[in-house]
Amino acid sequence: MTNSFQVNSKEISKIKTTSKREKDFRIKNLNFFNKNGFPNKRHEDWKFSDLREIIYKNFKKLNTKNTSVKVKKINFIKDFDHNYVAIVNGELHSSNFKFEDKNKIKIKIFKNKNFSQENESNPLICLNHALANKGYHLEIKDNYKFKKTVIIYNLFTKDLKDSILNSRNKIKVGKNSELHTIDFIINESKHKFVNNVYENVALANNAVYKNICIQKDKSQGYFHKFSKNQLLSKSKYSTFIFPSGLRFNKLDLEFNLEGKDSECNLQSASFLNKDDHQEIKTKMNHLAPNCKSYQRVKNVLSSDGKGVYQGKIYVKNIAQKTDAYQLSKAMILSDNSEFDSKPELEIYADDVKCSHGSTSGKVDEDAIHYLMTRGLDKKESTKLLINGFLNEVIEMIKSNSVKNFVKGKLKKQIYGY
Amino acid sequence: MKNENINHNQDYKYGFTTDIESIKAPKGLSEKTIRFISKIKKEPKWMLDWRLKAFNRLKFLKEPDWQKPKFPKIDYQDLYYYSAPKGMTDKPKNLNEVDPKLIETYNKLGIPLNEQKKLSGVAVDAVFDSVSVATTFKDELTKKGIIFCPISEAIQKHSDLVKKYLGSVIPISDHYFATLNSAVFTDGSFVYIPPNTRCPMELSTYFRINASETGQFERTLIIADKGSYVSYLEGCTAPMRDENQLHAANVELIALDDAEIKYSTVQNWYPGDKNGVGGIYNFVTKRGACRGKNSKISWTQVETGSAITWKYPSCILQGDNSIGEFYSIAITNNHQKADTGTKMIHLGKNTKSKIISKGISAGKADNTYRGLVDIGRKALNSRNYTQCDSLLMGNKCGAHTVPYIKNKNSSSTIEHEATTSKINEEQLFYCNQRGLDQEEAVSLIVNGFCKDVLQQLPMEFAVEAQKLVGISLEGSVG
Amino acid sequence: MLEIKNLTASINNRDILKGLNISIKPGELHAIMGPNGSGKSTLANVLSGKNGYKISGEIRYEGKDLKEMSVDKRAQKGIFLAFQYPIEIPGVNTNNFLKTSLNKVRKARGEKEIDTMSFLKLLKEKSSELGIDEKMMSRQLNLGFSGGEKKKNEILQMKILKPNFVILDETDSGLDIDALKIVANGVNSYRDKKKSFLVITHYQRLLDYIKPDFVHVLSDGKIVKSGCMELAEELEKKGYNKIK
């Protein structure tokens, strides 16, 4: 089958390239995308999310042209003090680190300098390699702990229509440093568009990085993010993902626990409703001894919502004393919704503790009955249970102000949509 | 490559060869070979046409490559597809006509065939390379209307049943190896249990590969008519040879309303030597259809042999209230590789499935559980419970779990759990302190680990299987 | 029976036993008392041959050096350790385990294997002595057993395997008074002039029921004081700190 969403190689000439190597790299990757097109369910990694079918159904064409980045006003969150970075349609717009020591922080437009990467088999990553021309690079120097959270406002403007945005971001946290971020996604476009992000997070020895990712509204976006994360010795990475509300959303997250005693914690809670299709795919690579990883993914599915979780734990033979756990739970409310999972273990070391669990099923009828005997109607009871089911993840957030903020947003997803 | 075995694997006690003259089909895979097989089996034309149809489809198929164990390219033109001991082309009417060497072979394997010595309570169909040598207890079964015979005989004598059900669970061109089997299958067992009949004894087929450079392609078809019950056992061994031999069987089970089939396998094909030379490629397609309401199919397998095991005994739960079960032990040692599991396809309402898998990996072996649980939109109120436990011995081996789980309605529940661990040092110490040596302690603990599966086996086989678990792991600790 | 000279043991470079001497003759029952962390359980483990310890000094059992002997060989030669925390082994039938174990020990003694009928008879007799419900024996080994059931099961194994030298590692811990009496009676009925015991305990309580011939106080990896029953009573009154 030929790829009807081919991108003309002239597009690459429009991108400011620094070297011939860069240009060749981009062309090589574009050729791969043009040849293979959007991935379909015949790709093992896309078995449960046939992106080709989804794109063909919803788009006639896709344009790669740059969009305007003018925004009148950003509605900043007023619930708590924070630093911010504003990204508009993938492009770095502005930033403010008024609570921090500015000498310790570097932020600039991202430039890809690493072209020697191995061949990718995911056509979307190739497309990003070929066309990415925006994004940010945030670097925290050694021995610096942030005083306040950084909110990364990801704005998508009204004029996005049939666009495909390709951006790359990188965050580097230096030795003994600590950074907390919240990715906050605000979408003003009423039209369909594709957002394709490549992200890198690198944690040096003993660094701590905590991240929360949340959508403000339901939107017409089709999102794909590939994120490759490096954890060096004794570093800690924690991420909370509340990604509901997109037409399509695939988060492909790879964590490389390269240093001894590093730890990774990933938790997610989503309420997936009409027209939502969401996949979280993780690859937890235990490459050094004594590392810990914990994953918990919870989904509530309503209407024709579809949720997918593909989580893999890989343990290299030298990674003895690994402690890895993975849990996915889904509550299915409608006969039109679907939950698929593939919790995978690939283990080559014997002195390890690795386990996973995956359950999916209906809402607890006994609990509903109990609540109804207390005077709640069925709908209210169900909502209360859903809230409780998802709140379990939110309760793990330490900061009260952030926790309450996230709770408010999630409640809106459950009640509002 | 064609030498008789030169590597001595002490642990494999079934590794002897029987020196017997055989009749073979022309070497290689061709229409000529298929016509040869069909002719020598005196098959009706519809059967030959069926085989040729499969052969034509095969030309458009490729060997699957998604499984974890990779294997060197198989030269299908360098194999014999039919090999039978001389004088066996017409099935002997009684044991006096059977070559004493064959009877001796089965005696050595612990499967006596003569009337005086035959196992009580177990009817045996003994398959040697491409033909069935003998079937015991035939008369007693016939009285109850039970058909238990080689499939080649069934094709001639019960062709309406064969025609109706053959290929109805595993379509003629399901995948490469299943299609290959459809084209060249030689023998295997056929079982039909009439309505409301409980089969009074265990039915068993014992497969033996003897000839070199020969693939074994058996086909088994079991039909349990309404309200009937049957328990069927399958055992397998092969001589030690330093070539890899292909075994690509198809097994189809059909359970009608209220019927139950229990299918147990103790697979002990030659696993190859300690360096990974030789051994059987065990590429088997097993599938059961719970076609009727309230029907039940239960698979139990103990997989200890073969260089590569690659099979997924599955259940298609079509009938409302039907039940599918899969109990598996897969032990891999030295260079063995196993990629095994099941598929539970829920289509009917109130269907239930249960999967218990125990994988044990030692030496440089790789052991993968791969399974699918798919609860369809219309399979309301269905349930699945899956538990996969892996045990690793040493850090040169691998244990992998690859489940695919799909739930498509709001009244069904799926629960999946998996763990990976090593043998607990404290448990070993406790056993040692009570006087058990290291290997006995390991065998005991591993047998305990496998108990949920072992207790599913019929008594006669459970004891044998327990011993096999211990033997398979010999030399893996220390 | 058992001769220990200048025994030291360390694990992960941490010294636990630091030159321990003890001599136990046939028919004697020695009690070792000591505070937490004094090395009591390490002594039990080292005598049974558990891996992971670096040891020096001399351990002679019935005149032979024990140090190179594996755990199972020691057990076959009649050394029995009643565990402080008996290990749970899922899927393994208690009955079956005990029969396998008994046959190993019998074989080492040059006796022939016991058949199932005689074994079950023996088991029935010994369990009723200890007030053990026979049904317990068909359950999985130690799985879901209460603390008391586990300890009784250890004593039952002792009585069936008939060892010459028995180490009781904190057998009294986790027992109520009724169970304690049953366990003590089990041990007492097994005492004779050929068998020796090493009873490791934190409290005097057990020794009220199992009378020791000698009492030793273990502290920081050494025996700091030896005496008779009076020493145990003194310890109970004054506490370990006063004795040194």
Amino acid in the structure at residue B306: S
Domain count for chain B = 1
pLDDT confidence of residue B75: 86
The more confident residue out of C44 and B237 is: C44
- Burial string for B346-384 (b: 16+ CB within 10 Å, else e) reads bbbbbbbbbbbbbbbbbbbbbbbbbbbbbbbeebbbbbb
What's the rounded Cα separation, in Å, for the pair A208 and A173?
Answer: 8
Summarize pLDDT for B5-60 with one digit per residue, the tens. Answer: 334 445 677 777 777 777 788 888 888 889 988 988 889 999 999 999 999 999 89
Question: Domain for residue B133, yes or no?
Answer: yes
**In the predicted structure, residue B237 carries a pLDDT above the cut 80:** no
pLDDT confidence of residue B92: 64
Helices (H), B349-407: none
Residue position matching structure tokens 């690509």: B248
| Cα–Cα separations (whole angstroms), residue B338 to A112, A351, B71, B404 | 43, 21, 12, 18
Contact A330 B419 (CB under 8 A): no
Find the closest chain B residue to C103 by CA distance.
B435
Query: Nearest to residue B326, comparing CAs of B307, B303, B308?
Result: B303
Domain definitions of chain C by residue range: 2-91+165-242
pLDDT confidence of residue B394: 85
pLDDT (tens place) for every residue of chain A, 417 residues total:
457 788 888 888 888 877 888 888 899 999 999 999 999 998 889 999 999 999 999 998 888 876 676 777 888 988 899 999 999 999 999 999 999 999 999 999 988 777 666 678 899 999 999 999 899 999 999 999 999 999 999 999 888 889 999 999 999 999 999 999 999 999 888 899 999 999 999 999 999 999 999 988 888 899 999 999 999 999 999 999 998 788 999 999 999 999 999 999 999 999 998 889 999 999 999 999 999 999 999 999 998 999 999 999 999 999 999 999 999 999 999 999 999 999 999 999 999 999 999 999 998 888 888 888 887 888 888 888 898 899 889 989 988 898 999 888 888 877 754
| Whole-complex ipTM | 0.87
**In the predicted structure, residue B1 carries a pLDDT above the cut 50:** no
Helix (H) or strand (E) holding A411: helix A400-411
Query: Nearest to residue A96, comparing CAs of A80, A111, A82?
Result: A82
The more confident residue out of B386 and C227 is: B386
- Contact at 8 Å (CB) between A30 and A127? yes
| Shortest distance, CA B477 to any CA of chain C (angstroms) | 15
Side-chain half-sphere CA neighbours of B188 within 13 A: 25
pLDDT confidence of residue A378: 84
Contact B402 A344 (CB under 8 A): yes
Q: Which two tokens stand for residue A163?
A: 């666009």
Query: Nearest to residue C167, comparing CAs of C14, C33, C43?
Result: C43
Question: Average pLDDT for residues C171-195, to the nearest whole number?
Answer: 91
Determine the 3-state secondary structure of A84 from DSSP.
strand
Assign domain C2-91+165-242 to a CATH class: alpha beta
Give chain B's largest Cα–Cα span.
Answer: 68
Angle at A175 between CA A170 and CA A180, to 5 degrees: 55
Task: Sort out which chain C residues have CB atoms less than 8 A from B358's CB and list them.
Answer: none
pLDDT confidence of residue A371: 82
- Contact at 8 Å (CB) between B248 and B131? no
| Shortest distance, CA C52 to any CA of chain B (angstroms) | 11
Angle at A44 between CA A40 and CA A45, to 5 degrees: 80
Contact A355 B412 (CB under 8 A): no
pLDDT confidence of residue A272: 92
Task: Sort out which chain A residues have CB atoms less than 8 A from B393's CB and list them.
Answer: 350
Side-chain half-sphere CA neighbours of B469 within 13 A: 28
DSSP state of B259: -
- Best residue in B360, B364, B377, B401 to probe A by mutation, most A CBs within 10 Å? B401
- Best residue in B405, B409, B425 to probe A by mutation, most A CBs within 10 Å? B405
pLDDT confidence of residue A2: 57
What's the rounded Cα separation, in Å, for the pair B469 and B466?
Answer: 5
Q: Measured between CB atoms, which of A317, A342, A361 is closest to B403? A: A342
Contact B416 A357 (CB under 8 A): yes
Those residues whose C-beta lies under 8 Å from the C-beta of residue C232, and which sit 6 or more positions away, are C31, C33, C204, C207, C212, C215
- Cα dihedral A270, A273, A275, A277 in deg (nearest 10): 20
Q: Please give the full DSSP string across A311-379, using - where no structure is assigned.
A: EEEEE-TT-TT-EEEEEEEEEE--TT-EEEEEEEEEE--SS-EEEEEEEEE---HHHHHHHHHTT--HH
Give me the count of residues in chain A: 417
| Cα–Cα separations (whole angstroms), residue A21 to A17, A131, B350, B358 | 9, 14, 61, 51
What's the rounded Cα separation, in Å, for the pair C151 and C81?
Answer: 12
The mean of the pLDDT values for chain B is 87
Tell me, letter by letter, the H, E, C secondary structure of B176-226: HHHHHHHHHCCCCEEEEECCCCECCCEEEEEEECCCCCECECCEEEEEECC
What's the rounded Cα separation, in Å, for the pair A95 and A183?
Answer: 14
Question: Domain for residue B152, yes or no?
Answer: yes
Q: Determine contact: C78 vs chain B, CB below 8 A.
A: no
Contact A345 B401 (CB under 8 A): yes
pLDDT confidence of residue A51: 94
pLDDT confidence of residue A251: 96
Query: Nearest to residue B189, comparing CAs of B123, B239, B144, B246?
Result: B123
| Shortest distance, CA A136 to any CA of chain B (angstroms) | 37
| Cα–Cα separations (whole angstroms), residue B181 to B81, B187, B204, C218, C224 | 10, 11, 21, 73, 78
Q: What percent of chain C has pLDDT over 90?
A: 63
Phi, psi of B422 (to 5 degrees): -115, 175
| Shortest distance, CA B436 to any CA of chain C (angstroms) | 5
Chain B interface with A: residues with Cβ < 8 Å:
66, 377, 380, 390, 392-422
Instruction: List % helix, strand, coil for chain A (3-state, nearest 5).
Output: 20, 40, 40
**In the predicted structure, residue B263 carries a pLDDT above the cut 90:** yes
pLDDT confidence of residue A261: 97
Q: Measured between CB atoms, which of A343, A350, A357 is closest to B395? A: A350
- Burial string for B6-19 (b: 16+ CB within 10 Å, else e) reads eeebebbebbeebe
pLDDT confidence of residue C26: 95
Question: Domain for residue B156, yes or no?
Answer: yes
Contact B405 A337 (CB under 8 A): no
pLDDT confidence of residue B118: 66
Please say whether the dihedral angle defined by the alpha carbons of residues A355, A361, A363 and A367, taken in this order, is positive or negative: negative
C partners (3+ CB pairs within 8 A) are: B
Contact A335 B409 (CB under 8 A): yes
Question: Average pLDDT for residues C81-106, to the nearest whole number?
Answer: 91
Q: Which two tokens stand for residue A129?
A: 């390699």
Find the closest chain C residue to B436 by CA distance.
C72
| Shortest distance, CA B400 to any CA of chain A (angstroms) | 4
Please say whether the dihedral angle defined by the alpha carbons of residues C132, C133, C135 and C139, taken in this order, is positive or negative: negative
The mean of the pLDDT values for chain C is 90
Given pLDDT bands bounded at 50, 70 and 90, which one contains residue B220?
A: very high
Question: Domain for residue B109, yes or no?
Answer: yes
Question: Average pLDDT for residues C85-92, to the nearest whole number?
Answer: 89
pLDDT confidence of residue B9: 46
pLDDT confidence of residue B477: 66
Q: Does C touch A (3+ CB pairs < 8 Å)?
A: no
pLDDT confidence of residue B7: 40
Task: Sort out which chain B residues have CB atoms less than 8 A from C87's CB and list them.
Answer: 424, 426-427, 429-430
Question: Average pLDDT for residues B318-339, to the nearest whole number?
Answer: 94
Tell me, letter by letter, the H, E, C secondary structure of chain C: CEEEEEEEEEECCEEEEEEEEEEECCCCEEEEECCCCCCHHHHHHHHHCCCCCEEEEEEEECCEECCCCCHHHHHHCCEEEECCCCCCCCCCEHHHHHHHHHHHHHHHCCCCCCCHHHHHHHHHHHHHHCCCCHHHHHCECCCCCCHHHHHHHHHHHHHHHCCCEEEEECCCCCCCHHHHHHHHHHHHHHCCCCCEEEEEECCCHHHHHCCCCEEEEEECCEEEEEECHHHHHHHHHHCHHHCC
pLDDT confidence of residue A417: 40
Question: Domain for residue B258, yes or no?
Answer: yes
Question: Domain for residue B274, yes or no?
Answer: yes
| Shortest distance, CA A265 to any CA of chain B (angstroms) | 19
- Contact at 8 Å (CB) between B140 and B129? no
| Shortest distance, CA A52 to any CA of chain B (angstroms) | 20
Task: Sort out which chain A residues have CB atoms less than 8 A from B411's CB and list them.
Answer: 335, 362
